[in-house]
Amino acid sequence: MRLRLLALFAAYGMATLGVAGAALWLAARGGTDAVVQGVMVAGFGLAGLATGLWYLFDQHLARPIEMLAGSLRTGRPPDLSKTAHLADLGPAAQDAAAARLRTAEALDQALQTHAAEQVREKATLESILAEFGAGAVMTDGQGRVIFYNASAAGLLPGLALDRPLDRHLSGAALQAARARLDAGAPATDLSWMTGQGTRMSARLRRIEQGLLLTMRQPLPDSPAPRATLEALRRHAATLVPLLEALEGPVPPSLAKVLRAEGRGLAATTRRLSQILADDAPSGLAGLDELTAGLAHAGLLPPLVFRAEAGPLNALLVFLDRQLRAEGLEPRVSVRPDVLEGMQLVLEWQGAPVPVDQLEAWLGKAPDPGQPDLTGAEVLAAHGTAIWPEVDGRMARLVLPLARAEAAAEGRGVTYDFALAGRELSSSRLADLTCVVFDTETTGLTDSDRIVQIAGLRLVRGRLTGERFETLVDPGRSVPPASTAIHGITDRMLRGAPDLAAALAAFRHFCEGSVLIAHNAPFDMGFLRRAETETGIRFDNRVLDTVLLSAMVWGQSADHTLDDLASRLGIQIPPENRHRAMGDAIATAEAFLRLIPALEAKGIERFEDAVAEARRHRRLIGDANLPH
């Protein structure tokens, strides 16, 4: 490299002499015009030489050095093709980055080996707590949530780490309970009404400087059987004259009324059975548990039901086996039912099952492990029934079940006990509570609409597992060119929430958090332009990984999400690219890996990042500026 620099300056010196000689030759020709021409040649020639020298230094020294600095700070090997003119500096930086990676991997392996037993114990404890029937929430001394399990997430919608607990409970009830604890009580009960009108009760106990709240699932309201019997009487009173009026073919309008009344009668009967059942199921079973061992008629949704998985799964497998013995090929699916329930359907092409044959099957014990429990008794214990239907060439068996609340679809346990030691007002990048998000749209113009939005929460520099993801009905067709990029079709958007509902839910998810996006002005632009239509305002602070990348590698580097992921060693599965959650995950991983490199440059706090971003305004706009 020293020889290259010597050659470069020697060439510059010779070129300077050449320009000076040309200028003198022109001036020696005599006359004012010749002197002026000589001066102009000298001036423009020297300026051009200086510009050319700067360009060579910028392309072959400054930019590669910026890139090497970013690689060293992030511990990722540099691209040697861009360091050809730095002699041994590029390979040396690559060796240093590789050595750092090996050291980090060795340290990580040592820590993993040393902590293997603790990891297993931790996983076991998490599994136990995840299945714990009671909702459990723990706060630090300042009332911020530092732990909760799946049951709690369902009982208190919107529960999240680093948020105050009193936003989910009655302030007066919680304050009174704290007063009882301050008076010396080791634990105390409290109760309150939720915004949905459900009465909740819990036990509050002090844990060190914080609190532990344990809740039980609220008992479902049991309306008086008199009201249910009256509903039965009304449906029967409607059906009797309709049935007596039947002569010849049934008109379509009459058939429609008959079907509606029949479904109402069946639903009310099931409701009465649930009210009167002494052994109604108290367990929760996922659809995957209930349909294990059955052929599916398509991708089944992640539903959860109030049911005992063992007996019901045994019954469905038994019925499937009986149908196959008849030469049929049933497949299981689900469809909506009345009373906000769902119907499990065993469907096949062929003749329907006669009612007497179905009754004979239900009289047998489907589970060899419980030979004294018949299929009919399994259904009675769940307050439901099963019946045959026929629709043209398709026949089916229909089993209605009550869905569980969304609480049953919890994520296990979510916690970060170190939050208790963090300053409440800390603005360090590693301490921030963030939501990394991405949107997919119908296009790139200001008049286009959001079709998908996804986000995931980061607390104190780690992923919590809390996620938000929804399709959004844009109120218009998705152009084929946009579908070719993100794969979202008009059919996928049918039944999706509209923009107001989707943004209201997302606003709740990211309340009080710093928003992070890749090319944030684009995504924040869609959120902010929607304010006029929805009335939902996003005034969160914002970080942009494009700008953070420029702070580490310089503006001359490429800062697309793919380039950033490649430099940081982040793998984005092709099927997840240009899907909101896939891009949000990649952006979150990039942000976490950029924090140490930013800290090495003295950019430790949110305010530091915003101030440094102003130096890169020509690269991309600042999403924190007023809109």
Residue positions annotated with a catalytic role: 578
- Which pair of tokens denotes residue 136? 């459990």
CB-based burial label for 192 (10 Å; 0-12, 13-18, 19+): middle
Q: Rounded to whole angstroms, what are the CA distances from 108 to 72, 100, 122?
A: 19, 12, 18
CA distance 169 to 110: 44
Angle at 256 between CA 255 and CA 257, to 5 degrees: 90
- Which pair of tokens denotes residue 333? 């699916």
CB-based burial label for 377 (10 Å; 0-12, 13-18, 19+): middle
What is Dmax (Cα atoms) for the chain? 125
Quickly list H helices, 422-557. Answer: 480-486, 490-493, 499-509, 520-529, 531-534, 545-553
Query: Which long-range contacts (C-beta less than 8 Å, at least 24 apart) are formed by 386-390?
Result: 386/319, 386/358, 386/362, 387/266, 387/355, 387/358, 388/352, 388/353, 388/354, 388/355, 388/358, 389/352, 390/352
Residue 67 neighbours by CB under 8 Å, 6+ apart: 78, 79, 82, 83, 553, 554, 557
- Which pair of tokens denotes residue 139? 């706060």
